[in-house]
Amino acid sequence: MLSLMLRFLILSILVLWQCSPNRQTETYRFDQIIVTKFPTNPPPAFPQSFFPEKANFLQSSEFKTSHIHTKEAFLLLETSETWEEIQKRIDFRVNQGDWKLVEKNTNDSEVSYLLEGFIKKSLSIYLSRSGETNQIRFYFKKHSTY
């Protein structure tokens, strides 16, 4: 009887282990493009003050013009923070003055922000509902060579 229960327990653990999502970081580099699945850190082009405190980074990509300068970047993250908390954080951050709000569109399932920064930079933020979590997509583009 004990051996049967032990076998069942071990089998249950193995099944749960195999069914759990694998959150191991995978990075692919193609010349000046870097694509990462489950990154541990976001690309440095994004102001981290826009990010929720509890965020799971799902995917990122970067196009660099040199080793340190990012021309374009993308980041997808998910968070358990509420829809209202995320919007409040983004609105508060925009009001600090270094990013100018160009456009904001809102509907029941998505909010989009288009922001303009110094030295011809743009940042788009898309907040969408995804079940119990919310997903945020960030797009960064630098329009100059400075």
Contacts of 52 (CB under 8 A, 6+ apart): 77, 79, 81, 85, 86, 89, 136
Model pLDDT for residues 67-118, shown as the tens digit of each residue: 677 889 999 999 999 888 999 999 998 888 789 999 999 988 899 999 998 8
Q: Is the pLDDT of residue 125 over 50?
A: yes
DSSP three-state, residue 124: strand
The distance from CA 125 to its chain's CA centroid, rounded to whole angstroms, is 10
Q: Is the pLDDT of residue 19 over 90?
A: no
Model pLDDT for residues 34-59, shown as the tens digit of each residue: 899 999 989 888 888 899 888 999 99
Q: Which residue has the higher pLDDT, 86 or 146?
A: 86
CA distance readout (Å), 107 to 29, 69, 143: 37, 35, 29
CB-based contact 73:43 (threshold 8 Å): yes
Please give the model's pTM, rounded to 2 decimal places.
0.80
* CA torsion angle 78 82 83 85 (round to 10): -110
Q: What is the pLDDT of residue 129?
A: 86
Dist. CA 56–CA 135, nearest whole Å? 9
Q: Is the pLDDT of residue 146 over 80?
A: no
Out of 3.20.140, 3.40.50, 3.40.1000, 2.60.120, select the CATH number for domain 25-142.
Answer: 3.40.1000
